[in-house]
């Protein structure tokens, strides 16, 4: 039986409760999502698009869903203090799937900028949701439709045309519940023509004893000549499963720097789909994953070049130890309408133990001769000659291994556009390789 059936039955039995916790615009989307789900299934191991990660199995357990919007108390001040050293951010926090921005955050935003709940935006700027919500993510995707069926709120970030944010926006997603929980999270990011912004999204598990499941859909729109740094950090427990889908549309002259870092995870599947729709758009899509225990990290990328003269570069690095498993399935698609495309992809991986596994599947689909495209993938172990050299200079073996693994990640970390975030990532990566908990949530709060 498909794991979708339990969620379809849940909706049919409790749709009134679900609708009461949401807004009319979202409720109006559910019937079509339900209709599509009735003949769909989530990616499974038997699918070509899910060769190594079964989303079907991720959603099979009977998690609780907080349809009645019961408030689960969380002492954020006592248990979560997160900010990036030397980097002042404007922060919003989601507990499970509740987003309640403080008046301090709202008052500090530049005029016209929105960083608020979907519910509030539906009341104040419904035209934004009517134009963009559920318009960027594909309506044929089962994960998107399931998220639409169950979501009750979300987060909306809107940067008006030609506004350049001096401070990054930081969105922190926290899992905390006394019982197992599934949360449907939605993020909509809109940058008008010429707008510039940096957004940092951090995912954390607060209670390691519980099982959690996240259905996360992010829709991102970049207008003409817009520039976005979009950085996602995952620091979750081994009992947390995460299905995160990010869909991005870029228009003429826009610039995207998207970085994903899996510092700790349970089972995590991440899908990134970028559509280049305007000439001279540029995409830098990078990621790194560290597995030192039983982590399972899967990154599935597709960059669609649909118009001429665009540039994309994908760079992913994995270090997998213990009994962890890594997957990279990366695609470049160049349509017949996209001559003069320049697109590159690189995936390098290190296995730090004999039990770890790595699967790499680079994909090129080129339907035009006037292009420059390449891809490469390697899977290996740490350089034994370098280890021997370092040990011969008096460096202990364990320290030498950490130094080499840190150096291996350096070129990906260096692509991050925020200097303080780069420094923080270097520190977290070093902690992780030293066997310590790379937990952003234990940072001192330096927000100002």
Is residue 354 domain-resident? yes
Domain count, the chain: 1
pTM of the model as a whole: 0.93
Which range, 83-87, 242-246, 384-388, has the best average confidence (pLDDT)? 242-246
**Percent of the residues in the chain that have a pLDDT greater than 90, as a whole number:** 71
Residue at 5 is within a domain:
no
3 state SS of 387: helix
Residues near 402 by beta carbon (within 8 Å), at least 6 away in sequence: 430, 433, 434
Does residue 260 form part of some domain? yes
Helices 142-150 and 30-37 pack at an angle, to 10 degrees, of 140
Q: Could you tell me the pLDDT band of residue 75, with boundaries at 50, 70 and 90?
A: low
d(CA 271, CA 214): 14
| pLDDT higher than threshold 70 for residue 381 | yes
What would the two tokens of residue 73 be? 């108390």
Mean pLDDT of 311-316: 97
Give the least confident one: 61-65, 101-105, 215-219, 379-383: 101-105
Structure-block tokens of residue 91? 């922060």
Q: Is 57 helix (H, G, I), strand (E, B) or coil?
A: helix
Average pLDDT rounded to a whole number, residues 186-204: 97
**Boundaries of domain holding 233:** 74-442
- Is the pLDDT at 136 greater than 70, yes or no? yes
Determine, yes or no, domain membership for 46: no
d(CA 189, CA 160): 11
Which residue has better confidence, 67 or 402?
67
Residue 128 in any domain: the answer is yes
Q: What is the reported pLDDT for 182?
A: 95
- Residue-level pLDDT at 78: 44
Q: What is the mean pLDDT of residues 2-18?
A: 93
100-104, 327-331, 344-348: range with lowest mean pLDDT: 100-104
pLDDT at 446: 37
Average pLDDT, the chain: 90
Condensed to tens digits (0 to 9), the pLDDT of residues 389-447 reads: 677 777 777 777 778 888 889 999 999 999 999 999 999 998 888 877 655 544 443 34
- Please name the residue that has the structure tokens 């009735």: 38
Do strands 341-351 and 311-320 pair parallel, antiparallel, or not at all (unpaired)? Answer: parallel
In a domain, 114, yes or no: yes
CA distances from 324 to 206, 213, 320 (A): 22, 19, 6
What does the block give as tokens for 168?
Answer: 């990054």
Domain assignment of residue 293, yes or no? yes
User: Is 299 inside a domain boundary?
Assistant: yes
8 Å CB contact between 166 and 418? no
């Amino acid at each position: 039986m498909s794991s979708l059936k339990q969620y379809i039955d849940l909706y049919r039995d409790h749709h009134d409760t679900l609708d009461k916790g949401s807004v009319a615009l979202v409720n109006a989307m559910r019937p079509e999502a339900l209709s599509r789900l009735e003949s769909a299934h989530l990616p499974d191991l038997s699918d070509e698009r899910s060769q190594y990660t079964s989303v079907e199995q991720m959603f099979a357990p009977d998690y609780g869903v907080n349809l009645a919007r019961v408030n689960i108390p969380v002492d954020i001040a006592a248990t979560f203090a997160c900010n990036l050293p030397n980097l002042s951010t404007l922060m919003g926090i989601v507990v499970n799937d509740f987003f309640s921005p403080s008046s301090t955050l709202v008052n500090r935003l530049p005029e016209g900028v929105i960083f608020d709940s979907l519910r509030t935006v539906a009341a104040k700027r419904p035209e934004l949701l009517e134009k963009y919500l559920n318009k960027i993510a594909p309506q044929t995707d089962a994960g998107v439709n399931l998220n639409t069926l169950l979501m009750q709120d979300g987060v909306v970030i809107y940067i008006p045309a030609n506004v350049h944010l001096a401070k990054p926006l930081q969105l922190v997603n926290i899992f905390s519940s006394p019982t197992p929980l599934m949360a449907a999270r939605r993020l909509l990011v809109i940058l008008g023509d010429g707008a510039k912004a940096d957004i940092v999204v951090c995912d954390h598990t607060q209670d390691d004893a519980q099982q959690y499941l996240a259905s996360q859909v992010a829709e991102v729109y970049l207008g003409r000549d817009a520039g976005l740094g979009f950085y996602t950090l995952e620091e979750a427990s081994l009992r947390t499963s995460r299905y995160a889908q990010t869909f991005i549309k870029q228009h003429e002259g826009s610039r995207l720097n998207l970085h994903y870092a899996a510092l700790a995870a349970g089972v995590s599947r991440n899908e990134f789909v970028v559509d280049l729709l305007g000439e001279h758009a540029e995409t830098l899509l990078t990621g790194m994953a560290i597995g030192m225990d039983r982590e399972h990290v899967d990154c599935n990328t597709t960059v669609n070049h649909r118009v001429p003269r665009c540039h994309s570069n994908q760079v992913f690095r994995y270090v997998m130890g213990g009994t962890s498993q890594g997957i990279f399935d990366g695609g470049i698609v160049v349509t017949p309408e996209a001559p003069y495309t320049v697109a590159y992809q690189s995936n390098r991986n290190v296995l730090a133990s004999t039990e770890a596994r790595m699967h790499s599947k680079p994909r090129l689909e080129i339907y035009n001769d006037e292009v420059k495209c390449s891809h490469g993938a390697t899977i290996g172990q740490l350089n034994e000659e370098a280890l021997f050299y370092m040990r011969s200079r008096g460096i202990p073996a364990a320290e030498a291994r950490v130094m080499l693994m840190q150096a291996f990640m350096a070129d990906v970390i260096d692509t991050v556009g925020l200097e303080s975030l780069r420094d923080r990532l270097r520190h977290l990566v070093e902690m992780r390789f030293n066997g310590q908990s790379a937990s952003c949530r234990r940072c001192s709060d330096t927000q100002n």
